[in-house]
Structure 1
Amino acid sequence: MGFTPREVDDMSLWELAACAAGYAKAHGAEDKPPAPTAEEHLALVEKVRSRRLN
């Protein structure tokens, strides 16, 4: 991110976290996808299990 060690030492944890989040967003990081619903999860589990049996 380009900060010197002294600049990092002078930051609060909140400031450093905000910088890291902004840096990631500016460089193409994506937000986390939403978690699957319980039904979606169970459907994927069954799909994997059926493939293992074949």
Structure 2
Amino acid sequence: MAKIYGAGAAMGFSPQQVDAMSVWQFSAALDGYIKANSAEENDQTKLSDGQAEEIWAWLQEQK
């Protein structure tokens, strides 16, 4: 249970709130938390094609 309480704490839940949840509710909250905090799902962490081209052009000028 320690890992479940730890994951719940990372999501902002108290142990009592975790205990009050069904397994399905906790799993859905955990999935949403992971999706919201995953770099793969966060478009702000990826360069656009234009940004990548600008960086490549700048690198070529540095030679």
TM-score, structure 2 length as denominator?
0.45
Question: Which runs of 5 or more structure 1 residues have no equivalent in the other structure?
Answer: 31-54
Q: Which amino acid aligns with 1:22?
A: G
Post-superposition, which runs of at least 4 consecutive aligned residues in structure 1 deviate over 4 A?
A: none
Q: Percent identity?
A: 53
Alpha-carbon separation, structure 1, partners of 2:39 and 2:20:
26
Equivalent position of 1:2 in the other structure: 12
How many pairs were matched up?
Answer: 31
Cα deviation, residue 2, structure 1: 0.8
* Highest RCO, 1 vs 2 (Cα 8 Å, sep ≥ 6): 1
Question: Which runs of 5 or more structure 2 residues have no equivalent in the other structure?
Answer: 1-10, 41-63
Cα RMSD, aligned residues only: 1.8
Which structure's residues are more often helix, by fraction?
2
